[in-house]
Amino acid sequence: MIRQSSANALFLETARLLELNGSIVENRRTGKIVKQLDYPIILCLTDPTNNIISITERKNNLFATIFETIWVLSGSRDIRPLEYFLPRANQFSDDGITWRAGYGFRLFSNCGNQLETARKILQSDITSRQAVCSIWDPALDPDPTSKDNPCSNLLYFSVKNGKLDLTLVVRSNDLIWGFSAINLFEFTTIQQIMAGMLNLPVGNYYHIVNNLHVYEHHFSLLNSLYFKTPNSFDILFSSYFLSNYYNYKPKSNLRLDNLTQYNWNTINNYYSEFVSIIYNSLSNNCPIPTSIYERDPKGYYSPFLTQFLTEIIIDYIRGTIDLDKLLDCHYGFRSWYEQVYLQMDKPYKINLV
């Protein structure tokens, strides 16, 4: 097991292990070359609130990570709202419109609201070992003709030592485009929301991977991470972002530690409406209404994702706030923008000019 207290440290130690012990093989189904571990591995993040990967060389698109997490919480499988942030999304779609095995759809819609069921189980019996959610559906998976068979399969919520743990079981995980780009952030966010609903502290996050790998086009990146330690900028950005992200207080003053009156159905409905508003505005080339974070349409308000994303990203994209003002006022984003974002390959950037 690799056990670390920060996403940066967990990512780097895992990358070093894969670089040192990985075997180079050809995937017989796709013909692609990968470097993989020849054994399952458990990754443990002891502080799931420290879930931002800010390693400069990784060039992580935080905007895309946050929006995809919101999209998962909406319960959708329509990838069109995602394409503005993730231009590669349709490469993993069978019809160019949906992800057959979208995580949010599988968790919220395919078999009912599984997360709400898990919440009720733990609320009635905090010692229960039955709070399980399944993304993998034996009636549908695997589909050998599909581009989208779910990589993340099972979620186990359990309370240990008075704290909420989450264990995720993953059949196959790309360290770069899977684990570090979205999986660690999205599932620790789900863990934190569940903990808030149950009025419990957040415990450990366990990420169990049967096949951990990187593809050939990322071999050089993997090699560059072998001797890497978080530099002053990596630490600065992470501390700036995390300290403000989890202490952000809008008018409603609601935070992750004050969610006990809400349930997963309410959150699912709220984010579904949020994604719809964003997508309709972008697709019709209309400004995003600022009222989106000033109102509370479903009796729920989530500053830690919705308002943060809206103020920092959406108004910025639409040009309704000044770039220099944004970068000067929001938590060290100028340093991140100049040192990381501008260095990203264009296909993975939002057009911010």
Could you give phi then psi for residue 299, rounded to 5 degrees? 75, 20
The CATH number given to whatever domain includes residue 88 is: 3.30.572.10
Asked if residue 30 is part of any domain, the answer here is yes
Least confident of 51-55, 88-92, 162-166, 233-237: 233-237
More confident residue, 198 or 278: 198
Residue 353 lies in a domain: no
227 domain-assigned: yes
- The pTM of the full predicted model, rounded to 2 decimals, is 0.83
Which region holds residue 332: left if phi is over 0, alpha if psi is between -120 and 50, else beta? left
Q: Is residue 104 domain-resident?
A: yes
User: What is the full DSSP assignment across 240-263?
Assistant: HHHHHHTT---TT---TT--TT--
Tokens of 8: 């940066």
| CA pair distance 159, 126, nearest whole angstrom | 7
Domains: count for the chain:
1
In a domain, 148, yes or no: yes
* 142 prior amide bond cis, ω within 30: yes
Q: Give the range of the structural domain holding residue 98, as residue numbers without chain letter.
A: 2-348
Mean pLDDT of 199-206: 92
pLDDT, tens digit, for every residue of 238-263? Answer: 555 555 444 433 333 334 445 676 78
What mean pLDDT comes out for the span 209-219?
97
Model pLDDT, residue 29:
79
Query: What is the distance of C-alpha 169 from the center of its chain?
Result: 15
Give the confidence band of 32 by pLDDT, cuts at 50, 70, 90: very high
Let me know if residue 191 belongs to a domain: yes
